[in-house]
Amino acid sequence: MDALRRTLLIALVLAASSLMMGCASRPESGFLANAAYDPPQATEHTILVATTRQRDPRPGTLYNGSRADWLDFASVTVSVPPTHVASKIEWPQTPPGDPRKDFTVHESNYVDGDKAFLQALNAQLAQRPRGHRQVFLFVHGFNTMFAEGLYGFTQVVHDSHTQAVPVLFSWASRGSVTDYLYDQNSATAARDELAHTIRLLVASNAEKVNILAHSMGNWVFVEAMRQIKMEGGLKRSDKIGVVVLAAPDIDIDVFKSELRAFGKLKRPYYVVLSRDDKALALSKFLSGGESRVGAIKHDDELAKLGAVVIDLTNVKGDDPTDHNKYAQLAEISPQLRQVLQNGIGKTQVASDEETEQLKSSLTSVVTVPVNILGNSIAIVAGR
């Protein structure tokens, strides 16, 4: 019976992972071709890219899922259509898409080397006023093609209304659910290059470097932080700001070991999890039944490790696997930020009446679930 359930679970995840919302087929090639025009109502975001992927000679593709022998850089300006719906990606049915209704690329260029990358980053930072010169680094997860990582990050940047300079770290995922072990090895191989990227960001004119890692991208991140620690740490570690680990595809015991290796972050870090995450259920099965951090049953276990846990189990996901719920948080990012700033670390005993008030308020002290996105989001912090 157990074998049957496991077989059904794998079949379910394989089927669900093959679905792309609003996209007739997955964007393997051609979806990053420059669109012919950009309507005035569209919003552009210039995403800087650091990647361990190989460049792809096919037009409108930029990078594929093979591993490169070096860290490569690019700059891509993505146009978000005026009809955009928060937490969605309006995928083109056919490339390059219609910028009036689809995510499209307005301009893209390769950037040659560390020096040119830092120049491009500092140029963007200089456009922000002092006190707002921040970087937003995103590390994507398993089963992610380059275009998916790029557009997915753009959606988060757009919906969160962040003014930080967005930087995508894209490691060599093949974008196939059957290539889990290849992706896992690619993630491990990318740790040194992510560590190098973090050092570049900290060495820039940025005042803060905020980091979001998703799924297997969390493995790349904690390995990179471990590598940085082994090499003497960061000269300006105070520049590391908010760190969000979304749906971490990491064995819980390995995660504890990594934390011991590089130490707790000076500021609270956030773990976004969901116990109905089907992708992590598959990962758990492939890993011999060991619990993954992103689907752990007991939030307080992570809180004791210094994490602020944002539990999205009761939130209905926008994707069939319930693995990308973190992206929905971008829509309510300013309100959520206020909740976290006002409530984390405080203690309060709420009456039934106060509990109901808290459930509909984003400005109250967080000691009970907060009602946002139409469902209850539990926020747990260590005491």
Rg over alpha carbons for the chain, rounded to the nearest Å, is: 20
Number of residues written out for the chain = 383
254 or 52, which is more confident? 52
Least confident of 1-5, 196-200, 257-261, 378-382: 1-5
For residue 371, list its beta bridge partners.
Answer: 376
Give the residue from 377, 282, 373 showing the smallest Cα distance to 321.
282
pLDDT at residue 340, as a whole number? 54
- 3-class secondary-structure state, position 56: strand
* pLDDT at 295 exceeding the cut of 80: no
- pLDDT per residue over 53-102, tens digit each? 999 999 999 999 999 999 999 999 999 999 999 888 999 999 999 999 99
DSSP states of 287-344 as a string? TTSPPBGGG-S-HHHHHTTTEEEEE-TTSPPSSTTS--GGGGGGGGHHHHHHHHHHHT
Q: How confident is the model at residue 379 (pLDDT cuts 50, 70, 90)?
A: low
56 or 19, which is more confident? 56
pLDDT at residue 21, as a whole number? 39
Look-up: residue for tokens 């490169």?
A: 68
Share of the chain above pLDDT 90, in %: 45
* pLDDT at 362 exceeding the cut of 80: no
337/343 Cα distance (integer angstroms): 10
Letter for the amino acid at 72?
A: D
26 or 263, which is more confident? 26
361/272 Cα distance (integer angstroms): 20
Look-up: residue for tokens 């969605």?
A: 88
pLDDT at residue 67, as a whole number? 98
* pLDDT at 23 exceeding the cut of 70: no
Q: How confident is the model at residue 207 (pLDDT cuts 50, 70, 90)?
A: very high
pLDDT at residue 304, as a whole number? 77
* pLDDT at 341 exceeding the cut of 90: no
Letter for the amino acid at 342?
A: N
* pLDDT at 16 exceeding the cut of 70: no
Cα separation of the two ends of the chain? 42
* pLDDT at 108 exceeding the cut of 90: yes
Q: Are 192 and 225 within 8 A, CB to CB?
A: no
pLDDT at residue 17, as a whole number? 44
Give the residue from 285, 286, 244 showing the smallest Cα distance to 267.
244
Give the residue from 309, 171, 170, 196 showing the smallest Cα distance to 246.
309
Distance set, CA 292 to CA 67, 88, 209, 212, 251 (Å) = 26, 26, 26, 18, 5
Instruction: Give the strands of the sheet with 62-80, arranged side by side.
Output: 104-111, 62-80, 43-56, 165-170, 134-139, 208-214, 240-246, 269-273, 307-311, 375-381, 370-372
188/130 Cα distance (integer angstroms): 36
Look-up: residue for tokens 């990962």?
A: 283
Reported pTM: 0.82
Alpha helices in the chain (DSSP H): 2-17, 113-126, 146-160, 180-189, 191-203, 217-230, 252-262, 278-286, 299-303, 333-343, 352-359
Distance set, CA 259 to CA 185, 244, 302 (Å) = 21, 15, 11
Domain ranges of the chain: 2-322
Give the residue from 181, 185, 180 showing the smallest Cα distance to 52.
185
171 or 295, which is more confident? 171
- Give me the phi and psi of 232, to 5 degrees please: 105, 0
* pLDDT at 173 exceeding the cut of 80: yes
318/281 Cα distance (integer angstroms): 18
* pLDDT at 186 exceeding the cut of 80: yes
- Tokens at 266, concatenated: 């000076």
